Copies of this chain bind each other. A is one copy, B any other.
Amino acid sequence: MLKEAIYHRPKDNYAYACTNEELHIRIRTKKDDMKEVSLLNGDPYDWQDGKWNTNTVPMIKSGSDQLFDYWFVSIKPPFRRMRYGFILNDGNETACLTEKGFYDEPPLDDTGYYYAFPYLNNIDVFRAPSWVKDTVWYQIFPERFGNGDPSNDPEGALPWDSAPPERDNFFGGDLQGVINNIDHLAQLGITGLYFTPIFKAYSNHKYDTIDYMEIDPQFGDKDTLKKLVQVCHEHGIRVMLDAVFNHSGFYFPQFQDVLEKGAESPYKDWFHTNEFPLVMEPRPNYDTFAFEKSMPKLDTENPEVIEYLLEVGRYWVREFDIDGWRLDVANEVDHSFWRKFRTEVKAIKPDLYILGEIWHDSMPWLRGDQFDAVMNYPFTTNILNLFARGTISVKEFIENMTTVNHMYPKNVNEAAFNLIGSHDTPRILTECGGNEDKLKQIFTVLLSYIGTPCIYYGDEIGMSGPQDPGCRECMKWNEEDQNQDMFEHVQKMIQLRKEYPLLANEGELHFIPSNYHESCFAYTKSNGETTIMVVVNMSDEEASYPLPFNLKGRKIANIYTGEEYAAESDDLTAKIAANGFALFQF
């Protein structure tokens, strides 16, 4: 038994409340080391004859990555209190792990040895809005989705799709353009729109905010936004806006005032600086995002800034009924601010979705007091590395995905914002070298995986484009420029995800071991009664894939093609097309 490999620490991803009566407990052990792991547990105050009363429940192996196995159990402590330890059996020896270390036998003279989940308080349960886990998002870069109102086009705007996208060109896209094209979105079946910034800003991407309280006039006005939200809601589509609270744009009037007046400016404490006047060369004497002098970092510890930004957060929810906030560079703003932000915006709309842009391990923001989710870039990276770049094997893909799944609580994973590309990255089809089969496979995985998937505008019609600005082409509205086959695939996968909750966030995901088949990998989603199995063929040849279950006498459906089979023998072997996939239900 490799004791050094064993890890457990209460809260976070290892011991958390999943509902107001259910705890999830996990433990990590060396890969293939343990035969059995179980959870010794009891109410801390339940004693009899000087001995603590305990139960022992078996844990299941919920996944394995490169170095470790993960064990899991869900448990409902009758009085919402629990002390617990682990009984570990590697086939040769048994040990009891407590908070105070390892014991040969569980000590029962005191609960003080044990890990504690002292009380399952309802209010501390992590709860993303319940609608999120069933949502399929669609990301819109407003300057490039549709031009619904030529009257607001910026000076020098080019005719739609008449030129490649550049850092500083404009095509006149706007909010009315989204309203006008709502049928495309409704037909596709998406149920959430994520807009990159729409507030007044200088650039075409609008991340350089000038006024957080105004719609950029190139995009329309507040009435247009109201109409847009209304139209979306009528179509069952939620609306999420993007806010940049880490730093302002260069032309933010408060920053301009400090540039101009220095220490005399009433806004001199809105930024991070101790020296006046502000200088930008050779190096700014104020804090910035990265080393970008035109992006001055806001001082989110200054009560005036806090109140200003909180009112921004509240205003668009209160007045425009938006459903989510996506927060740019969220990891560089203080936790204290995000706690206030959550409290304020959720007071107006309790089921508002708060999504942070964080690229790395995000547990400290996902403890229920700050965000509901982060952008799931590890998902993106693993998908790209496997399908597009071919830099990892299926084995590594499964291990990496398992690592990420076990870094967070299950209820956190369900709300994770899974993306395969954005306005910041080459388009996914371009990453795939134009291979449409691979893209279809990626959409199949995206739309059958744990989390809340997002489609970058145009990817569903097979648009391509390199690293930004290349990935920000105008949406192709001419049908002949649209890949209808791809559209129909995405549409069908979205439809299936709605029809079969197992494809979304119902049930448990398990990967079939990577060595089971030489060219296909697979995972199941199961609720204990029904299982859906996603099989993906990574090779250029058709594969025979024997389903790794005894299905004799069961009905099996390929829910993608609608074919049904009755398994007549123990072994059912399916044909999976070259670079294809299948979705079996049984």
Which chain A residues have a beta carbon within 8 Å of chain B's beta carbons? 2-5, 7, 9-11, 30, 44-46, 66-68, 79-81, 99-101, 112, 114-116, 118-119, 121-124, 287, 290-291, 300-301, 331-337, 339, 358-361, 363-364, 368-369, 377, 381, 400
Bound CA–CA A204/B400 (angstroms): 59
**From residue A256, how far is it (CB to closest CB) to chain B in Å?**
24
When all copies of this chain in the complex are counted, the total is: 2
Known: A30-B4, A290-B45. A115 touches B334 (CB 8 A): no
* Chain B residue contacts of A2, Cβ below 8 A: 2, 4-5
Max chain B C-beta neighbours (<10 A), residue from A4, A30, A118, A361:
A4
Question: Besides A46-B291, A121-B336, A122-B334, 11 other CB < 8 A contacts?
Answer: A2-B2, A2-B5, A3-B67, A7-B7, A11-B364, A80-B287, A118-B332, A119-B332, A121-B301, A121-B335, A123-B301
- Lowest 9 CB-CB distances: which A-B pairs, in order? A4-B5, A121-B334, A45-B290, A118-B331, A119-B332, A116-B360, A123-B301, A123-B336, A11-B364
A364 engages B10 (CB within 8 Å): yes
**From residue A189, how far is it (CB to closest CB) to chain B in Å?**
32
Partner of A4, one of B9, B67, B81, B337: B67
Bound CA–CA A122/B10 (angstroms): 27
B118 engages A361 (CB within 8 Å): no
**From residue A568, how far is it (CB to closest CB) to chain B in Å?**
45
* Chain B residue contacts of A369, Cβ below 8 A: 335-336, 339, 369
Bound CA–CA A332/B124 (angstroms): 11
Bound CA–CA A158/B333 (angstroms): 60
**From residue A307, how far is it (CB to closest CB) to chain B in Å?**
15
B81 engages A121 (CB within 8 Å): no
Partner of A119, one of B115, B122, B331, B359: B331
Bound CA–CA A3/B67 (angstroms): 8
Max chain B C-beta neighbours (<10 A), residue from A3, A79, A336:
A336
Bound CA–CA A2/B31 (angstroms): 13
**From residue A573, how far is it (CB to closest CB) to chain B in Å?**
35
* Chain B residue contacts of A66, Cβ below 8 A: 101
B45 engages A124 (CB within 8 Å): no
* Chain B residue contacts of A118, Cβ below 8 A: 331-332, 358, 360
Can you list 18 A-B contacts with CB-CB less than 8 angstroms, sorted by A residue number?
A2-B2, A2-B4, A4-B30, A4-B68, A7-B7, A10-B364, A99-B360, A99-B361, A115-B360, A115-B361, A116-B331, A116-B360, A118-B332, A118-B358, A118-B360, A119-B332, A122-B301, A339-B369
Residue of B nearest to A2 (CB): B4
Bound CA–CA A5/B368 (angstroms): 29
B9 engages A363 (CB within 8 Å): yes
**From residue A347, how far is it (CB to closest CB) to chain B in Å?**
11
Residue of B nearest to A297 (CB): B119
A359 engages B112 (CB within 8 Å): yes
Residue of B nearest to A11 (CB): B364
Bound CA–CA A44/B289 (angstroms): 11
* Chain B residue contacts of A5, Cβ below 8 A: 2, 4-5
Bound CA–CA A142/B529 (angstroms): 62
Bound CA–CA A368/B536 (angstroms): 46
Bound CA–CA A456/B585 (angstroms): 67
Partner of A124, one of B79, B101, B335: B335
Bound CA–CA A178/B576 (angstroms): 84
Partner of A361, one of B44, B116, B300: B116
B9 engages A123 (CB within 8 Å): no
Residue of B nearest to A378 (CB): B100
A79 engages B336 (CB within 8 Å): no
* Chain B residue contacts of A112, Cβ below 8 A: 359-360, 377, 381
Known: A9-B361, A66-B101, A361-B115. A291 touches B45 (CB 8 A): yes
